[in-house]
Structure 1
């Protein structure tokens, strides 16, 4: 498995059919030890990812682990986390904001019912979606809601991504009723029959380990597979020339070094390829998600944020890589390298309200 220092889980990944959630005391548990063990030791065949979150309010450490359907290994997670209170879930329904920004906080919302009833779990989730659909001004900081049902039929988990903790607090305060919205539908959520308890906690990402999605890495999947090139014809022509000549034509494009990046579409699962200007930081490759300064992130960036496993071609060198968004500190250090190559990046950032991301590609071992 591959350690991703700043990668959020791909909640919708197609090869994950089960989720195991475990909690531990962060004061008694080493995040580094958990991630090192998950990366280095042989893991159960059904394990897809381990993502660790630390509570903003207390010392709770939560592991969100993804598994192939019906292959969740409770004993493995209990031993890994030193915890015995595990709950197994299935993802039931998701809602994701268009052109969503990068998350800065996840809110785990849990609701318990007075007995096992899978149909009731689903009806409660549908009631929440009806309430959200009735919002005339949705909370600006809300990014997504991924609703999971426990396999025992007694609990619902909403894995909700937000821009930051403050945005979630402000949404609750605006509603004045302990919900993230104020439409009439929220009263039906609060008065839903059979609910015996509920609550939420805010968490920050502290680390993750993920396996290559089923079917092989994006890089290996490119060979012999249908890959869609950029819808912009001039970019598609650049890509075709690059591929046909092993980069002899196209690696230097109007004087700028370029590489080919293949990502997996976050909605379709199809392979998408484009050409991008790149920089170097030692063995790492650097990209800028400028989108010419537009308000929205480029599609390739949204894809790799969902699935960080990518394929890269630099000249005739083809390899798999893991992609991640540079931290604020890294961006401050590395940004001048990219503007030295393409000075317009500074202009794009100045004209955009969006924090243009700098992406780091690290060759997979």
Structure 2
């Protein structure tokens, strides 16, 4: 009599930063509610109003009950948040044609389908395998394969071509994971990039890391710094291996800076200060994670006065000026040459 339609919450999506809620309709389609809970700010938010451009129809609460493709879980979320997503008619992301095996990010998303492994264990039989055979042993695979598995979800530019059976986030041909081609960056919205060419949004996190010298020459992977199975996961939302001692991430390779004298000479800051933390200069918080600023994963990002002078701090953010906010690019231009001479 009130005119209200009640929809049950059948699924929750996410837990660390944001938790979304979805309902399953009688026809099998799943739609995500616009109101979500942000754990970081501890408040309810209209998530789509935050991430979409002004005027987005799905950000309007009165539009949600249209239940179209823009609110579809299968079309927008499932490619990363389900196991074995496929289009039963061959290709595309039409919600009515999509089905998945299990909701959520399960073990096989990263380690691969491991029924044979489980069967061998239950029968007490040895299970001979290569490192890339499921379940994948990440400690024994190469950096390229490691990054490719992470890129299944963390690479915005991935071209998601369906497999022969309509597979969209897994492969039945050879290895279980897909090796995605990348879309040209020119096809993306300008707002995803700074004018100096760096990535502005965290959806390009893998692309950012792949550009770094640490990746190209040092074979750094996501697992060099992150542990998806961290024992303190509930209080460590970024899954950092060295949360309390972040410099250790870099000292794994750059061990000479374990010496405090060498560190002070390198950073030109007091050893205990924020200016001497590796990430402060080389991974400044300049990537938009929607509700907070995340660190760039370019890593070898070195403060550059020329680009900031040309484009301004808004379009070429400089790590030095993130701390020295009372200064400007002209001050930076005068300071950096003296550093290079030392």
What is the TM-score normalised by the length of structure 2? 0.29
Bigger RCO (CA 8 Å, 6+ sep): 1
Return the structure number with greater helix share. Answer: 2
Return the structure number with greater strand share. Answer: 1
What is the TM-score normalised by the length of structure 1? 0.28
